[in-house]
């Protein structure tokens, strides 16, 4: 294929995409993930202070082979028979200058305490939208080990005016397992503590602007 026809095809595709976007009614925009942006979730009143500086943006990591789209919208991934150690994962979605991104999608998935993913249903899978402070909060459990990987959460994050961020989060108390993991990055460590019988983990995401 010549450069010329490649350019013409690219331009034509770009125009078609632009025309389709222009025809969308207000409020009908969807994240790349397919979830319709609905505006901010009801305030969670978490009182999370934004960090003093947000740039550079959060680095991406592979989704791996176990992502399932169209997960339930929910704030707890706990099941009546959940094993493992309960954990609250919370944080903010922010712009590169530390302003909140309200109404952003946060889609979380991870393996269970024994390192198994549910690839048929939605166990330990769910999404929610950030509130007006850009805050999200999931109740879940600490993911276990599976062969070849340090324990991790998988997350996809997208605001109405941001690119899709696909990344992973890691545990600061698993230093040796993290060191052996070829996908691990120290920038993606959770802030982790333990309170009232459960783990509390915090991470703030800064997806790249569109």
Residue ranges that bind Fe ion, judged by CB under 5 A: 64
Within 10 Å of residue 108's Cβ, how many Cβ atoms?
22
Task: Write down the least CB distance from residue 2 to Fe ion, Å.
Answer: 42
Task: Write down the least CB distance from residue 81 to Fe ion, Å.
Answer: 22
Residue 204, beta-bridge partner list: none
Q: Closest Cα to residue 40, out of 144, 105, 129?
A: 129
Report the residue number, 44 or 127, with the smaller CB distance to Fe ion.
127
CB 98 within 8 A of CB 50: yes
Dihedral pair phi/psi, residue 115, rounded to 5°: 85, 20
Q: Closest Cα to residue 118, out of 82, 93, 94, 172?
A: 82
Report the residue number, 64 or 96, with the smaller CB distance to Fe ion.
64
Report the residue number, 109 or 205, with the smaller CB distance to Fe ion.
109
Q: How far apart are CA 40 and CA 168, in angstroms?
A: 24
Report the residue number, 64 or 144, with the smaller CB distance to Fe ion.
64
Task: Write down the least CB distance from residue 133 to Fe ion, Å.
Answer: 29
* Residue sitting closest to Fe ion (CB): 64
* Cα 57 off chain centre by: 13
Task: Write down the least CB distance from residue 151 to Fe ion, Å.
Answer: 9
Q: How far apart are CA 200 and CA 137, in angstroms?
A: 10
Task: Write down the least CB distance from residue 62 to Fe ion, Å.
Answer: 9
Report the residue number, 85 or 181, with the smaller CB distance to Fe ion.
181
CB 110 within 8 A of CB 153: yes
Task: Write down the least CB distance from residue 30 to Fe ion, Å.
Answer: 25
Report the residue number, 74 or 145, with the smaller CB distance to Fe ion.
145
Instruction: State the first-to-last Cα distance of the chain, in angstroms, to the nearest integer.
Output: 30
CB 87 within 8 A of CB 201: yes
């Amino acid at each position: 294929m010549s450069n010329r026809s490649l350019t013409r095809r690219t331009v034509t595709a770009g125009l078609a995409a632009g025309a389709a976007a222009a025809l969308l009614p207000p409020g009908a925009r969807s994240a790349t993930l397919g979830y319709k942006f609905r505006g901010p979730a009801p305030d969670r009143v978490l009182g999370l202070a934004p960090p003093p500086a947000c740039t550079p943006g959060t680095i991406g990591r592979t989704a791996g082979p176990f992502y399932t789209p169209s997960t339930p919208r929910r704030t707890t991934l706990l099941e009546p028979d959940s094993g493992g150690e309960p954990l609250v994962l919370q944080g903010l979605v922010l712009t590169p200058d530390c302003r909140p991104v309200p109404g952003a999608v946060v889609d979380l998935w991870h393996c269970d305490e024994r390192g198994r993913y549910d690839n048929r249903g939605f166990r330990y899978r769910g999404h929610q939208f950030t509130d007006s402070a850009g805050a999200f909060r999931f109740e879940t459990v600490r993911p276990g080990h599976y062969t070849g990987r340090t324990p991790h959460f998988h997350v996809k994050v997208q605001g109405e005016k941001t690119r899709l961020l696909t990344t992973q989060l890691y545990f600061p108390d698993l230093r040796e397992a993290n060191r052996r993991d070829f996908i691990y990055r120290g920038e993606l460590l959770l802030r982790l503590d333990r309170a009232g019988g459960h783990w509390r983990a915090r991470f703030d995401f800064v997806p790249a602007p569109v």
